[in-house]
Chains A and B, each alone.
Chain A
């Protein structure tokens, strides 16, 4: 016991548990009418452009939380309640979705 257990631990330990937007693709496909993991999202916080499939995914048991791999800012949050999906994307400045030729 003591201070050691409470001090911040190495970022590498978080990496083990972290999934990416690919893991949220099934849930997101229920929500969006287009395939969103291939879309490129610009982070409102730091401006980084990342494919949604490559965002850091969290709390996939509760819903969808996708964060910017650069600044950890929340980009997309979503959950499915009774009869409705709720999605919040304030952290996405621009979403670019390719169209079929």
Chain B
């Protein structure tokens, strides 16, 4: 993701793109979802922060008002551009956390201490502040309920964000809850767990660490800190053994979405292919070293 837009200006931007493919699904969205239209041009728009939600000590969600937002597919991202008063610009990509069914656009940003953009988005910024945004972007790492399942999501840290858009969409879309789904989420410790309560609720009120309800099975693993008392989830890094235990079997031919830091995604994707999953049924989005959004 370019840190600074090259000079030269937007020149010769062409007309409408082909609608992004929902990961192989029929392009028509389910009846209860707003039909996402491709933007006429990928132009920078003004986003205003309506509300800030502190998710964890280092992660915040920003609820945005974006005039004439064309809608999006779960899994897509936006580019965010900040301009300082001396003209300095920095640009980063952030996954959309909200489902297309909701009118407000939500980004969840983890603060990277040494980052360019995240210290502002996840620190300084408050309701009423504005920044530039363009999107929605991405036609590869997307899923809609119409694409069907079984749906297997594997998240490393902040990689949960685009997968949460998918889970929120699944809960709201017509026929969404009929798609069997599983989430395996890896975190440093309980303090890093974003959307903890909401994920538990989506899985029918899960006990700490794991849960199963409403067609969604959820398991969390903690990689660095000891789990709290009563933990029903996993411990340690996601490895081939944990994947074999927790992920839909390859014979069930799930659609798998893996997102998080690059080494995590590459290791998980390789292990899944080694377990028999077809490479073309494993979608990946690599966030880089820190897990993205620096």
Which A positions have Cβ atoms within 8 angstroms of B? 12, 15-23, 25-27, 29-30, 32-38, 51-54, 60-61, 63, 79-84, 97-101
- For residue B197, CB closer than 8 A to chain A, the reply is no
What A residues does B248 contact at CB under 8 A?
A: none
Question: Which of the residues B1, B6, B24 comes within 8 Å of A23, measured between beta carbons?
Answer: B1
- For residue B21, CB closer than 8 A to chain A, the reply is yes
6 contacts between A and B (CB under 8 A): A20-B285, A22-B285, A26-B135, A35-B139, A37-B139, A53-B139
Are A26 and B20 touching (Cβ within 8 A)?
Answer: no
Query: How far is B26's CA from A18's CA once the two chains are assembled, in angstroms?
Result: 31
Question: Which of the residues B17, B283, B288 comes within 8 Å of A19, measured between beta carbons?
Answer: B288
Q: Dominant SS at the B interface?
A: loop
Question: Which of the residues B24, B26, B140, B261 comes within 8 Å of A16, measured between beta carbons?
Answer: B261
Are A54 and B15 touching (Cβ within 8 A)?
Answer: no
What A residues does B138 contact at CB under 8 A?
A: 22, 25, 35, 37, 53
Which B positions have Cβ atoms within 8 angstroms of A? 1-4, 6-8, 10-15, 17-21, 23-24, 26-27, 38, 42, 77, 79, 93, 134-135, 137-142, 261-263, 266, 280, 283-289
Are B8 and A80 touching (Cβ within 8 A)?
Answer: yes
Are A33 and B14 touching (Cβ within 8 A)?
Answer: yes
Interface core residue of B13, B18, B263 (most chain A CB under 10 Å):
B18
